[in-house]
C-alpha cells in the first residue's frame, strides 16, 4: 500500500489531507507533536483532532515527533523507505506576532524542520512527491505598494491594474520588503523546497497560500482569522481588528480545496514549481464583510473593535491569482465558496461550543 507522510497531521491542512488520502486508499503516516498548544495555548491544541483521526481511520499511524529532530525523522523515513510516495509538509509556526516572541523557535521549526524533511526525502524516498505548504507572506508587505482604492467596506486595487481581474501572481518579487520574522522563516523554507526540486530533481511543489480555513481549524487570536472570528461570534468574545479600518481584504480557501489541489499535483508532479493558491476572485472578503456574513449566518452580533495599528508586515489587500495552477491542472475546481465554507465553520464551532458546555 502506497504511503503518504503528513506533517502537522492534526492541524487544519494536515488533518484534511489525512482524511482525503485515507479515502483514496493510501496508508497515512502523520507527524504532529501539538506544538500549536505551545504557540497559542490550550484553546488551540490539536490533540482533539489527533485522537479523532486515530480512532476513526484504520490505516492512519500517528507519531508525536518534532520535525526538528532529524534523528527521529530520519529513522521513520528509513523504516518506511521507498513505500513513501507522497509527503505533504503542513507543520509550521504560523503567526506573524508569535515569531517575534521567539525568533529562534520560529526559524528552526519553519526553516530547519523543512530542511530535515527534504533531506530525509532525498535520502530515503527520492521518487516521492514533496508538497510544501508555504504562504503569501513570502512576498512581505510588497502587496501594500499596489495602487489601492478605499471603498465603503473594503480596499480594492485600481481596475486598470493587471492584478484586478485575477489577483496577485507568482511574478511579484519577494525582495526589499518587510516580511515579519515569520515571513522570513517561511521564505527560507519555500526556497529550500524549490532548490531541492531544481538542484536535486525532487518532485517538489510549493503552494503559497492565502487564508486557509475550514471547520477543523483550532484557531486562536494570533492565527486563523475566519475560524477565530466565528469562534468569537458564537461565544460572545470580543474581537480586535488590527489596522486598515477593518477593510483589509483576504482571499479564503477551504482546506478541502487546497488538499484537492495537492492531489492533482501528486498525479502529475513537477520539480521545484511554485503556485499562489487561495480563494482568488472566487472567494474573498474584507474583515468588515466577514463580520457581516458571520452575523447573518450565526444570528449573533460580533463584538469587535478596530485598533489603528496594523500587524507588522500585514497585507492591506491580498487576492491570489490561481490561473497558473489552473493552467497546469485544468481539472481542479473549487468545491467551496465563501458562503458555503462560512456556513460549515459556524455549524462546527456552534457544535463544539455546545459539546464543551456539556463537558463531553
Mean pLDDT of 172-188: 95
Question: Mean pLDDT across the chain, nearest whole number?
Answer: 95
The pLDDT value recorded for residue 275 is: 98
In the chain, beta strands by DSSP E: 3-7, 27-31, 60-63, 84-89, 129-135, 148-150, 155-157, 203-209, 211-213, 239-242, 249-254, 273-277, 284-286, 304-307
74-98 pLDDT, tens digit each: 999 999 999 999 999 999 999 988 9
123-163 pLDDT, tens digit each: 999 999 999 999 999 999 999 999 999 999 999 999 999 99
**0.85 exceeded by pTM:** yes
| Contact call for residues 193 and 273 (beta carbons, < 8 A) | no
- Please report, to the nearest 10 degrees, the dihedral formed by the alpha carbons of residues 31, 105, 254, 29 taken in order: -10
Instruction: State the CB neighbour count (10 A cutoff) for residue 42.
Output: 8
- 356 pLDDT band, cuts 50/70/90, is low
Element housing 61 (H / E): strand 60-63
Superfamily of domain 3-358: NAD(P)-binding Rossmann-like Domain (3.40.50.720)
- 316 pLDDT band, cuts 50/70/90, is very high
pLDDT tops 60 at residue 360: no
Domain boundaries, the chain: 3-358
Amino acid at each position: 500500500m502506497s504511503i503518504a507522510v503528513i506533517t502537522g497531521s492534526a492541524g487544519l491542512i494536515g488533518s484534511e489531507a489525512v482524511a482525503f488520502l485515507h479515502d483514496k486508499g493510501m496508508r497515512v503516516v502523520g507527524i504532529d507533536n501539538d506544538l500549536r498548544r505551545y504557540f497559542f495555548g490550550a484553546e488551540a491544541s490539536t490533540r482533539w483532532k489527533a485522537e479523532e483521526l486515530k480512532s476513526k481511520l484504520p490505516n492512519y499511524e500517528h507519531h508525536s515527533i518534532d520535525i526538528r529532530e532529524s534523528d527521529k525523522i530520519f529513522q521513520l523515513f528509513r523504516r518506511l523507505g521507498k513505500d513513501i510516495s507522497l509527503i505533504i509538509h503542513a507543520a509550521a509556526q504560523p503567526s506573524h506576532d508569535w515569531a517575534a516572541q521567539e525568533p529562534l523557535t520560529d526559524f528552526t521549526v519553519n526553516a530547519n524542520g523543512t530542511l530535515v524533511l527534504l533531506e530525509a526525502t532525498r535520502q530515503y524516498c527520492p521518487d516521492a512527491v514533496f508538497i510544501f505548504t508555504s504562504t503569501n507572506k513570502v512576498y512581505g508587505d510588497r502587496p501594500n505598494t499596489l495602487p489601492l482604492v478605499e471603498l465603503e467596506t473594503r480596499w480594492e486595487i485600481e481596475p486598470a491594474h493587471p492584478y484586478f481581474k485575477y489577483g496577485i501572481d507568482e511574478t511579484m518579487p519577494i525582495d526589499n520588503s518587510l516580511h515579519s520574522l515569520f515571513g522570513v522563516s517561511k521564505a527560507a523554507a519555500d526556497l529550500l523546497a524549490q532548490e531541492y526540486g531544481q538542484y536535486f530533481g525532487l518532485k517538489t511543489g510549493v503552494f503559497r497560500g492565502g487564508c486557509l480555513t475550514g471547520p477543523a481549524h483550532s484557531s486562536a487570536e494570533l492565527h486563523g482569522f475566519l475560524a477565530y472570528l466565528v469562534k468569537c461570534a458564537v461565544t460572545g468574545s470580543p474581537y480586535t481588528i488590527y489596522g486598515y479600518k477593518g477593510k483589509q481584504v483576504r482571499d479564503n480557501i477551504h482546506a478541502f480545496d487546497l488538499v484537492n489541489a495537492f492531489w492533482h499535483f501528486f498525479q502529475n508532479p513537477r520539480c521545484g514549481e511554485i503556485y499562489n493558491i487561495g480563494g482568488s476572485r472566487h472567494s474573498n472578503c474584507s474583515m468588515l464583510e466577514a463580520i457581516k456574513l458571520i452575523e447573518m449566518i450565526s444570528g449573533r452580533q460580533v463584538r469587535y473593535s478596530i485598533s489603528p495599528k496594523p500587524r507588522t508586515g500585514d497585507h492591506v489587500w491580498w487576492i491570489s491569482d490561481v490561473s497558473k495552477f489552473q493552467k497546469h491542472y485544468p481539472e481542479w475546481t473549487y468545491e467551496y465558496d465563501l458562503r458555503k465554507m462560512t456556513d460549515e465553520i459556524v455549524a462546527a464551532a456552534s457544535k463544539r461550543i455546545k459539546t464543551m458546555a456539556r463537558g463531553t
